[in-house]
Amino acid sequence: MLGTNGQRTDVPVVVLEDQAPNAAGVGPAIIEGPFFTARVPEDWEFVVSDTGDLLLNYRA
């Protein structure tokens, strides 16, 4: 992933369909869904709902 400083940074790639309900993580990360790819920036967190939806929350 290309950071705000212009440098490349290795980030985890999370496959949404492989996550259990209530699985969570923090950015930076890439979320690979069945119909989309999402970038989770630094200072954001993600949670997988009980129904498999991806929820993003700003942590700052």
- At 15-52, the pLDDT tens digits run 999 999 999 999 999 999 999 999 999 999 999 999 99
Instruction: Give CA–CA dist 56/60, Å, rounded.
Output: 13
Residues ≥6 apart with Cβ < 8 Å to 1: 8, 9, 10, 11, 28, 30, 39
For residue 8, what are the β-bridge partners?
Answer: 2
- pTM above the 0.85 mark? no
Q: What does the pLDDT read at residue 38? A: 96
